Amino acid sequence: MAGRSKKKGTSGAAKNYITRTRAVKKLQISLPDFRRLCIFKGIYPREPRNKKKVSKGSTAATTFYYTKDIQYLLHEPLLAKFRDHKSVAKKIGRALGRGEAGDAARLEKNLMPKVKLDHIIKERYPTFVDALRDLDDALSMLFLFANLPSSEHIPAKTIALCQRLTREFEHYVITSHALRKSFLSIKGIYYQATIQGQDILWLVPYRFVQRTGGDIDFRIMGTFVEFYTTLLGFVNYRLYTSVGLVYPPKFNAKSDEQGGELAAFQLEGKANATNGTNDPMEDVEINPEAQAIADRLAAMPDAEEDDEVPNVTAAAMGDDDEEEATEGIDTFEPTAPDADVLPQPQASSAQIASLFAPFTFYLSRETPRTSLEFILKAFGCKRVGWDGILGDGAFTTNESDPAITHQIIDRPPLANGAPAPDVPENENGGAAAPRVQWPHSTMPGRTYVQPQWVWDCINQSKLMRPDLYAPGAELPPHLSPWVNAKKGEYDPNLPLEAQQPEGEAEAFEDDGDDDEEATFDVDGDEDMDAIIDREGSVEVGEGMDVADSDSEDDSDDSESEVAAEEFDGFESDAESDISEGEAGRIQHQRELEAEATGKKVEVVKPTRKEQNAAVRKKADKKRRQEEEERERQKMMLSNKKRKLLKRIEYGENKRDVESETLRRKRAKLEKAKAAAEAL
C-alpha cells in the first residue's frame, strides 16, 4: 500500500525557516517594532543552506528567520507594550489634528507606556559572567554615544545617560585596578580590563568634533543603546556592590558642568558616608574577602623600599645572593631554534596596580587629559594635576609645584639657544621661585615624557626608560599588545639580524648597491678611474692569483672557467662541488708554479660584493636541498594530504613575502639612518 505523499513546504527546511514578511504578519506589529523587538531579544536573520527549498523555488533576495524564534516571540510581554504605544499614538495624532495640543501632551505624559527591559536582561544573561562576556560591544557603543553631540536624532538625555554609566564603570576599573592593556589606534583608544576572570575589550573614540552623516540609521543604533544602557546599569550595580560600594555614586552636577568628569562622582561605602575629605575612598567599606586580600598585598614591601633599605634578616642569614637572584622575573628560553615559544611569566597584579603610585603627574594642555587621567589612576597614581582650563578635579593646577615628578607634554623640544626667561625678584630682593614657561624653560629634577610613555609602560608592565620618550625624541614603535609575532613573521621588537634568514642580508646589501649605482650612472658623475678591470682577477673563493702572467693557456683556462661559472643552468649540486674543488686545485697549482719560477704572488682579497655572492650561493644551495627533500616527502603523501599541504604552503609563502617586504623596508630605513648619523 503506497504511503500518502507529503505536501511541499510542510516539513524539512521549508518548515524550519520563515520569511520576515510572514513573521511581521504573524506577530501583528509594524516592521520598526519587529526590528526593535529582535534586537532586544537577540534574534538575528539566518541564512539557509538551500534557499530554493526554503522559498519553494524562488530565488529572490529574502530575509529568513528561524520559525522557533518567531514562535518564541509570540509570548513576549513587550508586544502588549508596542500595541498600547500604537493606540496611544493614534489618539495623540487625532488630538493634534483637532488642534488640541494640551490634550495631546496630557495623553503623552499619562498614557504613553514605558518600556522596561529588566526581564529581558535576566533572560539573556542567566549568570553575571554571561553579562561580562557580552560587555565589549556595549561599552564601545556607549562610549561612542557619550562623545557625540546632541542632535535631533540623538537627544541630550541619552548622551548624559551614556556619560554617567561609562564614568561609573571607569571608577570601578580604577578602584579595582582591573585595567591591563591599552593601545592607541587610528579608530580610537582600545582598553582591556580583566573583571572576575573575563577579559573585556572596548574602544573609546578620540575627543574630536564628530560630524554625523545623513546615511546613518540612528533608530537602529538608538535601539542598541537603549538595551546596552540597561545592561550596563545592571553590571555597574553588581560590580559596585561586590566591592562594598554604594550604587549609584554621588554625582556633583556643578563639578560636571566645570569639566570634572571623573571628579564629579564621589564613591562611598555601604555603611558609611564620606566625611567631606578630599579622598572619596577614605571611608569606603570593603567586604571581608576583598579586605583580606588587600591586607595581604599591603603587607608586601614596596619595590622602592626594597631598593633603598637592605634586607637585614637576609643579610644576617647570609642569603644576599639568593635575594638578588630572585629579584627579577625568570624567563623561559627555547631549547632549540625550532622549539615552541614558551609563555613568559608576568609581574604580579599588585606590582602592576601600583606602577605609578610613587609619582605625581602634571598633564600639559595639549595632552589627552581624559584618557591619561583614567590610565594613571587605574595604575595607582593618586596625584594627577593639569591646567585649570582643562576642567575641574585636578590635584594641582600649578605647573611649578615642586611635588610634581613627571610632566607629560606633546610639544616640540626646546629651541637651541632660546633665551632664558626673566626671573622676577621677590619682596626680599632675592630671586623668586622659577616659574615654568614652556617651551622656554624646564623645572629641575622633573622628568618630561611624551604621552606614549604611559601606554608603553602599562603594556610592558614596567617603567620604560624616560629618555627614549623625551620631548622631540623619535619614539619607539607603538605596537598592539594583543598581537604576538608567530614563527617566520616579521617582529619589529627584534633586531633585523636576528630574524633574517641566511643570505638575505647580503641580498639586501647588493640590491642597495645596485640602486645606488643606477642612480649614480643617471646623474653622470661616475668616476671612470674607479672602474677596475677584472679580466685577470680571481673568481669567487680563489683569493690569490699570479701577477703578470704571459701564458696564453692560463688566460684561455681562466676565460673558460669564467664562462663555465656564468653558465650554471644545467649544473647539479655534485658538479658544483666538484667544480669548486677543481678550482681550488688549479689555484694551488698556480701558486706552486709561481714559487718555482720566482714570480711575485699577489694576494687579491675578494670584494664585499663577491663575498655576498658567495654567501648567497651557499644559502641558495641549502635552500634547494631543503626544497628537494620536501618534494621527496610530498611524494609519500596521499592526494588529499598533498592538497592540504599545498594550501598550507601557499599561506606560508604569502606570509614570507610580506615579512621579507617589511624587512627590506626596515633595512633601507636603517641604512639611511646610519648614513645620516655619519654625516
Q: Which amino acid is at 678?
A: A
Interhelix angle 78-97/31-41, nearest 10 degrees: 150
| DSSP output for 480-515 | -TT--PPTTS--TTS-HHHHPPTTHHHHHHHHHHHH
CB atoms within 10 A of CB 314: 14
Summarize pLDDT for 540-583 with one digit per residue, the tens: 333 334 344 444 444 445 444 444 444 444 444 444 445 556 66
Which ranges of the chain have pLDDT less than 70? 1-3, 7-10, 271-349, 413-441, 488, 502-584, 599-612, 615
18 strand-pairing partners: 65
Rounded-to-integer distance, Cα 547 and Cα 594, Å = 9
Residue ranges of the domains in the chain?
Answer: 13-110, 125-288
Phi and psi angles of residue 335, each rounded to the nearest 5 degrees, phi first:
-80, -20
561 near 539, Cβ under 8 Å? yes
Q: Would you state the pLDDT for residue 665? A: 85
Computed from CA positions of residues 222, 226, 229, 231, in that sequence, does the dihedral angle turn out positive or negative? Answer: negative
CA atoms within 13 A on the CB side of 670: 13
DSSP lists the bridge partners of residue 386 as 363
Q: Terminus-to-terminus CA distance in the chain, angstroms? A: 100
- Identify which of 425, 37, 36, 50 has the alpha carbon closest to the alpha carbon of residue 220: 36
Q: What is the per-residue DSSP string for 386-414?
A: E-GGG-S--S---TT-TT--EEE--S--P
DSSP-derived 3-state class of residue 160: helix
Residues 6+ apart with CB under 8 A from 543: 587, 603, 604, 605, 606
Contacts of 468 (CB under 8 A, 6+ apart): 475, 476
Grouping H, G, I as helix, E, B as strand and the rest as coil, residue 461 is coil
Identity of residue 108: E
At 311 the pLDDT is 39
| pLDDT the model gives residue 206 | 93
CA distance 30 to 373: 46
**DSSP β-bridge partners for residue 361:** 384, 406
For residue 174 the three cell numbers come to 580604577
pLDDT digits (tens, 9 = 90+) for 343-400: 555 556 677 788 899 999 999 999 999 999 999 999 999 999 999 888 898 998 988 8
Task: State the sign of the Cα–Cα–Cα–Cα dihedral 47, 51, 56, 59.
Answer: positive
pLDDT at 185: 94
R_g (Cα) of the chain, nearest Å: 37
> Residue 668 carries which side chain, given as an amino acid letter?
K
- pLDDT score for 8: 67
Contact 154, 165 (CB under 8 A): no
CA angle at residue 602 from 601 to 608, to 5 degrees? 145
Query: Is 27 within 8 Å of 34 (Cβ atoms)?
Result: yes
